[in-house]
Chain A
Amino acid sequence: MKRNWKVAALAVVAAGTLALSACGGSTSSTADAGAASAAATEAAAPAATAAASEAAAANGNPCGWAAAPRAGGAKYVVYMSSLNIGNAWQEEAVNLGSAEGLMAPYSDCVELRTERTEPDPASQISQIQSMTAAGADAIVTFALSPTAINATFKEACDAGVTVVIYDATVTEPCAYNVSYITAKPVGSDIPFMGYNAMAALIDMMGGAGDIFVAHGVAGTSVDNVHYLSALAAIEQLAPDMNILTEWDGNWDSAQQQKETTKALASNPNVVGIFCGYGESGCVKALKAADKTIPVTGETSQYFREQLLAGWPGVSIGSPPAQGGIAMKVALGVLQYGPDAGIPHDIEVPFKVVTKDTVKVCPDDTYTEGCNVFPAGVVGDENTADIFNPLLPEASLTSAKTGVPPAGLVAVPFTVDELKSFEQDPSRRYITREACPEGWTQGKLKEGLDGCVQS
């Protein structure tokens, strides 16, 4: 009995310590923080070059950018973060973003730090808070949920951090969304990956037949946007088409393969598959079953190699270049200031690749119009969509290692350039759950809730 009370007492003391350490910490640390971090930066990157200090002379800030670094150091602290799930797409995106901060002219102005988050909201929230406390000037991250991290992003914004989200979007208004989700693919007048992919599939199937639909992760907004717009395409272009069955492919090729195998067992007469990320799994299952039918998938190397070999399909999906583009947007906001007019909703154009347009990338660096690497250069799940018109400085080396090859120079955005990629207000509701002023919620013709001019 006595011992229990002792433990209880210890627990209460610990709880007290918690409160005390909080107060103590807050008073003690801030004073020497600046000096410490400055020292750290110098150690990390000895080349605080003359060019940078000259530019700094203009307004006293590093590189003469809009505001002083939050932590008071000689460089801006910028975090690049992705999910720690060993996924080829995530790695390419985070590496492209990191490489951006290590290229001239940014390398003189920015101290880049790369982080990875475990894939649950509590971990991401905790990490964003840590980054904010560590003096981040900008955080560029893949968001696990469009809503669950919002309060934390808001806290970061209020503390003066520039928050830029790539690929999947968030509804928090202060964060910048850099995403392909509502964008128009290059060469199409219609927005949405799902709509375009389904339209292409319908075209390949001659407008009729029964298909499978493979989701990414049910319960996510990205998946929902793809799915609803794909349904709208069926309704408008081929109302007689049937969906035999649907499944959750977890954005993972192993899972897609397992599920496709199951679906082929119960419906071997299928004539087309609308497959989400992990499409190499869909194709591998089809190959094992000796079936060659049209497939729409995202951007994997394996899938495009199949297209190159003549597989009927269309490859259209999320470009990992978004990681690098989002980093440039974040650096743009730091450079020009938050009031310079960089839009908060930026659409990233993406490619549609068929067996007629698939083209091999000869070099390590950007080549106009190429969309698949030579066989054996990258793994099945990597993608050549690291190359994007908005990211001409991308290279395969950067995407693999996060470190740019010597001599590559970043091409900063101008404010006007970014304005030309601003999301159309009619699609704002999809990513923000709200409409801009002068617009009200209404149905888009692609089957989603959007905004109409009132």
Chain B
Amino acid sequence: MSDQLAIQAQQRRSSRMQTIYRPLILAALALLVLVAGRLVSESLPSWIAVQTVLSLSMFLSVVAFGQGLVMLTGGLDLSVPGVIALSASIVAVWVSFMDGNLFVGVLLALGVSLLFGIVNGVLVSVLKAPAFIVTLAMGAVLEGFSLFITYGHKAPESPELLVTLFSGSGKLFGIGIPALLFFVVGIIGFIIQARSRFGRNAYLLGSSLEASRIAGQPVNFIQISMYAVSGFGAGLAGLMLVGFSGNAQLSLGTEWLMPSIAAVLVGGTVIGSGRGFWQATITAGLMLTSITIVIQSTGVPQGWKSVLYGVVVLVALLSTRSDFGRRRRKQISQSPLQGNPPKK
């Protein structure tokens, strides 16, 4: 009994650690990194650098939102690059070759992304196939589809409005729109994940599938909705990135998958534990983006930059970890990357 009380007390402590201190520490680290960037570049820190960090982190956050939810409930979504490519291709082809309405194109792209998210979710939750491999194979299929719809066409170009919104050329109060959108994404994400019933379901499901089931929650539905949101988020990211890059291409999303997973992990989400917080994920994104900017501006050869980045990720993991030793042991059993633990 006293053991249980101790666990509860620890949970409260670590919950504060997660929701308040860790995001603050990460955001402070992001700033610190930019300031320390002075050592490698005389132009750091600067207002431009802050804006760049914010806007690149915005794209990262949109990808990481769904990814974080899926990881919270014990899965992983590797179909993200495929969904991004498909959504980008759909809107670009719809608008530039079929002279379709942009609004309809956006709805179409988001709808298709949502649909494939749902398919992922059904395969994982109903058929109990491992999320890792289902989403990986789905990613290949979607890349094939996006090759198909852009095939024989000239590389499709982005609609003007998306370019203005997301390439950084459009400005509001002198600040690039993507940088401002970071805060919008942050707030919306927070409301969904921390304040809505949907978000609570994710936590409940992640922390104990059995308990969710016993509590009469529609477990499969909740799990499918996580993948649906991840698909939708990736589709949204596809629309943003096609605006950022100016044209749709297969590789649009590949460079965002690993950073999004890294942001979720450095943000302290433990896969399948129901523990992890949006504010920590996006501040981790800020910090990692700042670090890549500073590392990139050092004069060391390419390979060493990669080594440096890996070491930084490791150090960040160590320095921001909260002690879950006791809890983690329990969670190992239902952890890595399958929708549900085996029924017993």
Contact between A and B in the complex (any CB pair below 8 Å): yes
Query: Which residues of chain A come closer than 8 Å to B156, judged between CB atoms?
Result: 379
B205 at the interface (CB under 8 A from A): no
Chain A count of residues within 8 A CB distance of the other chain: 46
Question: CB of A86 within 8 A of chain B?
Answer: yes
A268 to B48, CA, bound (A): 8
Q: Per-residue CB proximity of B133-168 to A under 8 Å, as 1/0? A: 000000000010011001011111100000000011
Instruction: Say yes or no: B157 contacts A379, CB within 8 Å.
Output: yes
Residue B11 is within 8 A (CB to CB) of chain A in the complex = no
Residue in B closest to A269 when the chains form the complex, CB atoms? B43
25 A-B residue pairs with CB within 8 Å? A84-B147, A86-B143, A86-B147, A86-B150, A86-B250, A244-B297, A247-B305, A250-B251, A252-B251, A255-B251, A257-B245, A258-B255, A263-B297, A265-B46, A265-B48, A266-B43, A266-B296, A266-B297, A267-B41, A269-B43, A284-B245, A302-B246, A379-B155, A381-B155, A382-B155
Main secondary structure of the interface of B (DSSP, over half): helix
Q: Does B244 contact A (CB under 8 A)?
A: yes
Residues B247 and A381 in contact, CB atoms below 8 Å apart: yes
A66 close to chain B: CB less than 8 A: no
Question: Are B255 and A250 touching (Cβ within 8 A)?
Answer: yes
Interface secondary structure of A, over-half rule? mixed
Binary interface profile of B, 33-56, with partner A (CB < 8 Å = 1, else 0)? 000010011011010110111011
Which residue in A250, A252, A265, A287 is a CB contact (below 8 Å) of B169? A287
> B167 and A253: CB pair below 8 A?
no
Nearest chain B CB to A52 CB, angstrom units: 30
Chain A neighbourhood of B241, CB < 8 A: 254
The yes or no answer to B61 lying at the interface (CB within 8 A) is no
CB distance from B97 to the nearest CB of A (A): 11
Nearest Cβ on chain B to A414's Cβ, whole angstroms: 34
- Separation of A112 and B80 alpha carbons in the complex (Å): 36
Seen from chain A, the residues whose Cβ lies within 8 Å of a Cβ on chain B are 84-88, 215, 218-219, 243-248, 250, 252-255, 257-259, 261-269, 280-281, 284, 287-289, 302, 377-382, 400-401
CB distance from B262 to the nearest CB of A (A): 15
Residue of A nearest to B89 (CB): A86
Asked if B53 and A265 make an inter-chain contact with CB atoms under 8 angstroms apart, the answer reads: yes
Known: A254-B245, A268-B43, A380-B246. A247 touches B296 (CB 8 A): yes
Asked if B31 lies at the interface with its beta carbon under 8 angstroms from chain A, I say no
- Decide if B146 touches A86 in the complex (CB within 8 Å): yes
Question: A427–B255 Cα gap in the complex (Å)?
Answer: 35
A246 contacts across to B, CB distance below 8 A: 299, 301-302
Please tell me if the beta carbons of A400 and B302 are within 8 angstroms of each other in the complex.
Answer: no
Chain B residues in 8 Å Cβ range of A87: 249-251
* Set B154, B157, B169: member contacting A377, Cβ < 8 A: B154
Contact of B49 among A85, A88, A265, A382 (CB under 8 A): A265
Chain A CB count within 10 A is highest, among B156, B176, B249, for B249
B298 close to A245 (CB less than 8 A): yes
Identity of the chain A residue whose Cβ is nearest the Cβ of B44 in the assembled complex:
A266
Cβ–Cβ < 8 Å partners of B255 in chain A: 250, 254-255, 258
Report B-chain residues with C-beta under 8 Å of the C-beta of A84. 147
A215 contacts B46, C-beta separation under 8 Å: no
Decide: A85 and B43 in contact? CB cutoff 8 A.
no
B41:A382 contact, CB within 8 angstroms: no
Instruction: Enumerate B282-332 residues with CB–CB distance to A below 8 Å.
Output: 292-294, 296-299, 301-303, 305
Contacts of A248 in B (CB 8 A): 302
Residue of chain B at shortest CB distance from A287:
B169
- Report Cα–Cα, A355/B46, bound state, in Å: 33
Q: Are A381 and B169 in contact (CB under 8 A)?
A: no
Cα–Cα, bound, A132→B155 (Å): 33
In the assembled complex, the Cα of A269 lies from the Cα of B44 at a distance in Å of: 11
Q: Report yes or no: B43 in contact with A289, Cβ–Cβ below 8 A.
A: no
The verdict on A266 contacting B49 (CB below 8 Å), with A287-B169, A382-B155 known, is: yes
Q: Which residues of B contact A261 (CB under 8 A)?
A: 52, 55-56, 168
B252 at the A interface (CB under 8 A):
yes
Question: How far, in Å, is A248 (CB) from chain B's closest CB?
Answer: 5
Nearest 8 CB-CB pairs, A to B?
A379-B155, A86-B250, A265-B52, A266-B297, A379-B154, A288-B168, A218-B302, A265-B49
Query: Does B155 contact A262, Cβ atoms closer than 8 Å?
Result: no
The distance in angstroms between the C-alpha atoms of A215 and B247, with both chains bound, is: 21
With contact pairs A253-B245, A382-B155, A400-B152 given, residues A264 and B48 touching in the complex (Cβ less than 8 Å): yes
**Please, what's the 1-or-0 string for B101-145, where 1 marks a CB less than 8 Å from any CB in chain A?**
000000000000000000000000000000000000000000100
In the complex, what's the smallest C-beta–C-beta distance from B205 to chain A, in angstroms? 34
Bound-state Cα–Cα, A334 to B85, Å: 41
Q: Give the complex CA separation of A302 and B158 in angstroms.
A: 13
Q: Which residues of B contact A401 (CB under 8 A)?
A: 152
A267 to B152, CA, bound (A): 40
Q: Which residues of B contact A243 (CB under 8 A)?
A: 299
A261 CB, nearest partner CB in chain B, Å: 6
B297 touches which of A86, A245, A289, A379 (Cβ 8 Å): A245
CB distance from A348 to the nearest CB of B (A): 24
Given contacts A281-B245, A288-B176, 20 further A-B contacts (CB under 8 A): A86-B85, A86-B143, A86-B250, A87-B250, A88-B155, A247-B302, A252-B249, A255-B255, A257-B244, A259-B296, A262-B52, A262-B293, A262-B296, A263-B297, A269-B43, A284-B167, A378-B154, A379-B156, A380-B247, A401-B152
